[in-house]
Amino acid sequence: MVAEKEIKVSSDPKFLGEVIETIEVFLSGQGIKGSIQDDITISVSEIVTNAMVHGNGLDPSKKVSIRISVNQVKVNVLIRDEGAGFDPGRIPDPSAQENLMKTCGRGIYIVKALMDEVECDSNAQGTGVRLLKYL
């Protein structure tokens, strides 16, 4: 059996708490708690923030959509923005010497450490990031 939840919010950080609370309640309802739930919610928070800020430029008319599905073996999350896209290969390495003291730029790095798979598809119509966590 697959359980799914879809959320769509304006690109305003004030909605981030609502997104995270909705994800936590959904995951708990599927029996997913503890460190697995934490890994997923931290990752969703990072990617949704990036979608709002970098993807949609905090334009409240642009939306961020989050679709999460759970089955017996995995949690799959797809986060999409309505921005102009970017080249994922140009994300600076936060572990490079010149980036160690920067106060931002670690979100994708953290997400890749917490999730089992992370895929990014970006074009002129927006960016989609798929997160996968095996149970």
Tally of structural domains, the chain: 1
At 124 the pLDDT is 87
pLDDT band at 11 (very low <50, low <70, confident <90, very high): very high
Mean pLDDT of 31-57: 96
Give the domain extent around 125. Answer: 3-134
Residue located via tokens 């119509």: 125
Give residue 59's pLDDT: 97
Which of 19, 80, 10, 74 has its CA nearest to residue 45? 19
For 105, left (φ over 0), alpha (ψ -120 to 50), or beta?
Answer: left
Q: Residue 88: what pLDDT? A: 72
In the predicted structure, residue 73 carries a pLDDT above the cut 90: yes
pLDDT at site 44: 98
Mean pLDDT of 88-107: 70
In the chain, which ranges are E strands? 3-10, 63-70, 74-80, 117-123, 126-134
Residue with tokens 């390495």: 93
CATH code, domain carrying 83: 3.30.565.10
